[in-house]
Structure 1
Amino acid sequence: MVFIILTVPSLAVDNGYARIVYNVRGLQDYDLHWNDRFPPESTLKIYAEANGVNHEREVAVDYIFIIKDPNNNVVDTSLYSNRYEDYRENDFMTYSKNVPQGWVDGVYTADIHIFDLLNQSLMDKYYNDLIGSYLNETDRPDLPIMNRSNASILPEQHLLITKTFFVDRYANKYPVDRFRIEKIMLDRTSVAPDMPVTVSVNVSNTFYDKGSTSLDLLLDNKVINKTTLEIESYSYSQTNFTVSSEIIGDHTVEIIPTGMNTIGLNMSVVFTVSAENKIETPTEFVYQDIQIDKLSVEPNQNVSIAVTVKNTGKEGTQPVELFINDVLEEERQVNLNFSEIKDIYFNVTKENLGAYRVTVDKSNLSKIFFVESSTPVPAATVEPTIEKKPQLRIVIGLSVIVILIYLLRIYLKNKWK
């Protein structure tokens, strides 16, 4: 006995679908949006299609679009209805919305409810009940009674499709995303003036090959840092920045993607600068600059040197040591408050000619001045070279030698004939 086993594929009906699109020309004729991300004032379009909705040439399809923001608040709703006679099995509708400036950056959800074979009056009432359930966070209302006698043969009267998209004010600056910038964080949100704040952000590469991207760091809408990252495939890198401000009040830190194929969402955080914050860091002087009033002086002429010092810790006193040619020249005890900047002046004179290098302790800063004599050096006297004429006897002697050589040649020639 032979048994023949036939495998039969499971049958499923595709009742509908939705796409984020850029342009729609007709049924199943549209251009997909390139990255599903929309800046304010751009146009959001969602194409929704219902399949198998022709019932003896009658088409009655309703579409409800409910848009929710990242906090799950309903920000927009729309009801569209199609009623016509045709032979086509599928129907479509396009939701279109100009993204308002008030929509915050983040991930949005579009719930698309598609209804088949409901009459218009019932649909209007159900639309209001459905929106109310979203706003009040209650159970969804029961579906209204269908008005078609043959509606019971339909596998689905109601279809819910959920799509997500992104609102991002920088979305028009980059193409299809390969890198994602997310999770911007601060190590502290309330600091004293000029106290450093560490900003960290994760950058992930979602591609199968390593690559590089770049981003800008903004403080109060001003670019203060730029960086480029190279990230291995399917991995991420955490990047840290340091920011600070001496101005009391709130300050906004932003990360803006500038590399190709990069997306960044919710890339803005705020920290507060307050004079009431206690400074716990110890007193520490940072040397910012050295200035010399003269590059060249005469021996024993005064040179004024200014050293710019900043205290990055709590109020305190520390020595400021001035070195010339690596020898301690002078030391001053200086008291500074937190974040205070002050110029410390030194007066120096040197007797010997030469170059003098000025440095301060615990710093790579240096400047040079020269001690030079102002007495002019007399020019060397150069006697002119006078070309002397040869004496007459030397000329006569040379002439005699030439004549003798000539006569000798004649004699030798006659002798050997």
Structure 2
Amino acid sequence: MDVVSPDLRAKAVQSLQPVVDRGHLVGPGGSTHVAHCHHYNCFLQKTLRSRSDTGMDAVLVNVSAALFFVMFVRAFDAEWSLNRRLAYAQALFRVRGYGNPQVTDALESDTITATASHYSEGYKSKFGVQDEPQDFFLTGALQGALTAAYGCDVEVEQTSCIAMGDDKNTWTVTRHSNRQDNVENYMEQAKRLQQHRDALTPNPKPENLPAPPVTSAVQNMDLVGDPEKGLIPAFNVYLTFIPSLYYNICSQIFLDRIQENNMSRALGVRLLKEAGHVCGFYTLGNILLSSEFGLLRKSHFGPSPGAHDSMTALFGVVNAFGWGYWQLDELSDDTLSFSVHNSYEAYNYREYFGEADEPVCMLHMGGGAAIMNALRHGDILNFNGPIDRDYVNSVFKESDGFSSKEEQCFSFDEDGRPCRFRVTE
């Protein structure tokens, strides 16, 4: 499979930059991105698709399509040829860790293929061989990119999938030259987002961030997809940098549709928090066990760091992921308290939906509980095995574990204060 040109790859790599005063990562066209690994991405997708009557398959595709359409419309230079626009999208998808879809094939064919895919391979590794395609995110990203490149409605459908045991992913492309229904819908969503964004006042950057040299070191790491496969192996996981609004929007639609189908919204919230719990165990747990983290922690705290030092270093790593700025407020045997300035979940909710009625930081709540469960019941700092189902089950053999509460949320706080979390048994 052809690799993208060096100049476009460099342009794609350089397009993602940290916003120092907010703790976010801004990419092409002003879009914000966050780092997530295949464990969280695939488990949350499975959660969102847990009820077929909610119609979330189409949502997962359409939300991705809308976000990438807006991103590329703003990022494409008006003088670029169609070939260069598709080549840039191809380069961006690879460096962000999505896989290696050959987007430029759409110039002469109605088919796009990929021999590597973050979602498809991640889904197969976590849940086994599937009976239907699983790369809803990349399907939408391709649809959004092609719609922006052509300036008319384009439909993309996945027809084969690595998660199904196929040797590659395949998408069919249908171009509607005289139709712009999706284009108009995407533009309306962009206007709505911009209106809320203009009215937002972010939290100021905290003065005493945890382990800032660790954050800087992670920001300077080469966390981009390899040129051939477009995957990012790092910290014992596969990372992606995805539009931060993607899961915010999908999760809120999921909660609304659960209610429409006479199910408890509280149940939906618990499911989303559990996805964050999984992220905490597998993403943050694997970070703690990784060789990269060991070097970062040692360089900042020396050869014999304690639990507090390790958590401080972990927060320093997280602060490079675009999630907002994490601050460690308290850590004892039975309590973890932390604050998040400009939590991407709360910040993005206000960007897209306006003020919330309840706490919205499901990832942060679940992740905070997982940190304490792994630290206090799973002895994660002295654990030498894999983070897998057996390990997670062993953590809860003698205890129901820690739970987390969001005591203050930027999404609806009248004074716009940072989000605050408290984790206890």
Q: For the superposition of Structure 1 and Structure 2, which TM-score range results when normalised by the shorter chain?
A: under 0.3
The normalised TM-score by structure 2 is 0.21
Higher Cα radius of gyration: 1
Determine which structure has the larger strand proportion and give its number.
1
Determine which structure has the larger helix proportion and give its number.
2
Higher RCO, Cα 8 Å, sep 6+: 2
